[in-house]
Structure 1
Amino acid sequence: MSRTIAIAALGVVAVGLGVTAGVLLTGGDDEIRFAQCRESVVVGGADQLGGPFTLVSETGETVTEADVLDGPTLVYFGYTSCPDVCPIDLFRNGEVAHLLDEQGVAITPVFITIDPARDTPQQVAEYTDFMHPRMLGLTGSQEQIDIAARAYGVYAARVGEPDDPDYLMDHSSYSYLMSPEHGFLEFYSRQASVEQMVENITCYANAM
């Protein structure tokens, strides 16, 4: 993977933990508070990632970002039919949550599907329950998913024949550390290990 990743939906350039490291300070309170933890760069500022969304939870309830991001949260976009990338990444995120629990740091892993045509609330619930008992699965209409994906600079596109029921989705694969008080804090590439993520998230938790 390239060391510099362009997030096309936002028109920003970012470098994520697990690829290389850097710090962007713009003089805001959060940038100063979390300077010792920051391992990624978002050109234009960290407030370029995240934003309002309305989705459907795995229990069938309509939720907003305020309902979902009610504490430290690790957000991942993928789909339940993903053959390799998503289950590996989500299992890792679940392991991160387990280890943080042992340290007294509570974080909620969140899975947002990019394939709402197939990922019903029930399908998403079964998938997330396997990954971590506290992982929250979200789906919705295609329009709702598109809005959420754009807010996080997520790339997603269907590949294969239009009539193939077993189509795949091409998509970016980052995990986003979010906080209700501070918004976007950090994102982690696929190369980030469990140990790296636990250490980094603990740093943020101690700085809050």
Structure 2
Amino acid sequence: MSRRILALVAVLAIALAILTGLAVRRGVLGPAPQTVAVGGPFQLVDTSGRTVDQDVLKGKWSVVFFGFTHCPDICPTTLFEMGQVEPLLGADAAKVQTVFITVDPARDTVAQMKAYVANPAFPKRLVGLTGSQAQVDATARAYRVYYQKVGDGDDYQVNHAAYSYLMNPRGRFACVLPYELTPEQTAAKIKAAMQDRNGAESC
């Protein structure tokens, strides 16, 4: 596959992911995430090789984002901006973690995920999760996340939803964090959720 075609595939993948996030947010592709059950039991593997489940979300506010380490734009941008959100939260930053779940487990091994999440520009409180294809598929279904492999060989891309989910310290859905938000807007939504006693669907 030529470089020109690969570049076109990458651009189309980014555009589709952004449009998908916006469409879901507005209910164009069905019920918006706020109106349906989001989240549930899952089993994945963290960057130490340890099997974890939904309890990894307990005790902290979690920004859950599905992506992959070979993602050319959306994933590094999202994680970089979450790195900028942390200092905006002040003392509350210690109560928040970012959970990055791969949609490309074939390439995103434990070692690959460990190296990727170590980027100093990313959030200090960043959890990277991978697993078998079946485990990732099941988790994505629970979170109603879209993704699809595009292309063949080692240079394929993965179209995926661009939004993140904010989950409360009980591991329950609080709200969607759209891709187009600035770090300041994201921080404000997280703070608003923290101030809500119910901590669910509150931002």
Q: Normalising TM by the smaller chain, what interval?
A: 0.7 to 0.9
Of 143, 148, 158, the residue aligned with 2:139 is 148
Gaps of 5+ in 2: 1-18, 198-203
Equivalence for 2:92: 104
2:31 counterpart of 1:13:
yes
> In the alignment, is the contact (CA less than 8 A) between 1:12 and 1:42 conserved in 2?
no
Of 71, 82, 103, the residue aligned with 1:114 is 103
- Equivalences for 1:1-208 in 2 at 5 Å? 1=19, 4-5=23-24, 12-14=30-32, 42-44=34-36, 48-100=37-89, 102-105=90-93, 106-130=95-119, 131-161=122-152, 164-181=153-170, 183-208=172-197
Report the count of equivalent residues.
174
C-alpha distance in structure 2 between counterparts of 1:121 and 1:182, whole Å: 23
State the shift of 1:71 in Å: 1.3
Gaps of 5+ in 1: 15-40
Per the alignment, do residues 62 and 139 of structure 1 end up closer, same or farther by CA in structure 2, a change over 3 Å counting? Answer: same
> In the alignment, is the contact (CA less than 8 A) between 1:176 and 1:187 conserved in 2?
yes
Superposition CA RMSD, Å: 2.2
2:87 alignment partner AA: H
TM-score, normalising length: structure 1: 0.77
Structure 1 consecutive aligned stretches of length 4 or more whose deviation exceeds 4 Å: none
Query: Percent identity over the alignment?
Result: 39
SS of the aligned residue for 1:74 comes to strand
C-alpha distance in structure 1 between counterparts of 2:112 and 2:123, whole Å: 15
State the shift of 1:103 in Å: 3.8
Per the alignment, do residues 93 and 200 of structure 1 end up closer, same or farther by CA in structure 2, a change over 3 Å counting? Answer: same
C-alpha distance in structure 1 between counterparts of 2:133 and 2:155, whole Å: 18
C-alpha distance in structure 2 between counterparts of 1:194 and 1:177, whole Å: 14
C-alpha distance in structure 1 between counterparts of 2:171 and 2:57, whole Å: 14
State the shift of 1:169 in Å: 0.5
State the shift of 1:4 in Å: 4.1
C-alpha distance in structure 1 between counterparts of 2:123 and 2:63, whole Å: 12
> In the alignment, is the contact (CA less than 8 A) between 2:96 and 2:125 conserved in 1?
no
C-alpha distance in structure 2 between counterparts of 1:121 and 1:133, whole Å: 18
1:13 alignment partner AA: P
> In the alignment, is the contact (CA less than 8 A) between 1:72 and 1:177 conserved in 2?
yes
2:144 alignment partner AA: G
Per the alignment, do residues 158 and 56 of structure 1 end up closer, same or farther by CA in structure 2, a change over 3 Å counting? Answer: same
Per the alignment, do residues 193 and 157 of structure 1 end up closer, same or farther by CA in structure 2, a change over 3 Å counting? Answer: same
> In the alignment, is the contact (CA less than 8 A) between 1:6 and 1:12 conserved in 2?
no
